[in-house]
Amino acid sequence: MGQAVQAFIQNVHHFRDEGLRDQHAPADHVVIFDEAQRAWNLRKTADFMLRRKKRPGFTQSEPEFLISYLDRHADWAVVVCLVGGGQEINDGEAGISAWLDAVRETFPDWHAYVSPELTDSEYAAGHALDTLAGRANVVRDDSLHLAVSMRSFRADTVSHFVKAVLDCEAGAARELLAQLCDRYPIALTRDLPRAKRWIREHARGSERYGLVASSGAMRLKPHAIDIRVEINPVHWFLNDEDDTRSSWYLEDAATEFQVQGLELDWVCMTWDADLRFAQSDWSYNAFRGSRWTVMRKTDRQQYLRNAYRVLLTRARQGMVIFVPPGDPLDATRAPDYYDSTFAYLSGLGMTVV
């Protein structure tokens, strides 16, 4: 007699919708949420519930609702959150702090086991952890942190280097780059054709390379990079060298949304004026209409910073970073918008080509 087979992995939104349909506890007692930092905050969840589910006045964030669904069990339930640091790039992604806030505010009887590494700036959970301090049923456990990257033997050091760069920790970034440079070359240039030539010369055999840019890089158009042109990730990642839609052609730039969770062997990373180094920190900017405007909201700044984190960690073998020279005749591409960023990066010891 045949028996139906159920998928071990299901879309989290399908799981959520099951909890919306009735008030029973789920069949599952243990649920693992991958990419848990991407769960929606209250604003995004309430907006979705109103537009798509016709439920006005929804008052729970996605983490709070998902925990409440498991909380319907009378005996026990376990929620495992797998978290990637600095990966929130979409509007409304709440981060791991939303899960901790839900435990603190709504489920005080739940036991929480957390990694002490969540205090790191990448996770943006320090405040949420502080509010849980002193609770007897909150346990910090070092074993909950995956300290060794599973992607490649270089990836862990590259991630630490990129973190130091984005945290403006120049000394640490120089030290890490010195450890990397022999086995993971990183070059810097202000000439895009030279960047393309560099990456083609370094790639060997079937090693794949491609062009990436921030989704906010609106003023790379004079360099024939228009991020408003949507790429097809299937063609870009998989098609052969003779296909103009593929990454090999170095014509179409993939943004953080298309490359998150995926990698190439070599990457040509283009750096626009949306993220600018200014004295000792970053200036966050968005292009609106015909000019750049300063980002004021902290969450928007975090999304932009994380976008660059994603782009800078997509290469397995090495990368070249292109920082445009700017144009004194174009107010939207003033050299000042780019010069300080180039000076900061070159000062870390990157090879200038």
Q: Please tell me whether residues 188 and 317 are part of one structural domain.
A: yes
Q: Please tell me whether residues 47 and 183 are part of one structural domain.
A: no
- What pLDDT is recorded for position 192? 98
In a domain, 6, yes or no: no
User: Is residue 209 scored above 90 in pLDDT?
Assistant: yes
**Which pLDDT tens digit goes with each residue over 301-346?**
988 999 999 999 999 999 999 999 999 999 999 999 999 999 999 9
Overall average pLDDT of the 225-254 stretch: 95
Domain boundary among 87, 116, 144: 144
Q: Please tell me whether residues 267 and 295 are part of one structural domain.
A: yes
- What pLDDT is recorded for position 143? 87
Q: Please tell me whether residues 140 and 162 are part of one structural domain.
A: no
What does residue 275 show for φ and ψ, rounded to 5 degrees? -115, 110
Determine what percent of the chain is predicted with pLDDT higher than 90: 60
- What pLDDT is recorded for position 37? 80
Q: Please tell me whether residues 309 and 336 are part of one structural domain.
A: yes
Q: Please tell me whether residues 228 and 115 are part of one structural domain.
A: no
**For the whole model, what pTM was predicted?**
0.76
By residue range, what is the domain housing residue 75?
A: 12-144
Count up the domains in the chain and report the number.
Answer: 2
- What pLDDT is recorded for position 236? 96
pLDDT-derived band at 124 (thresholds 50, 70, 90) equals low
Domain boundary among 123, 144, 165: 144
On average, the pLDDT of the chain sits at 89
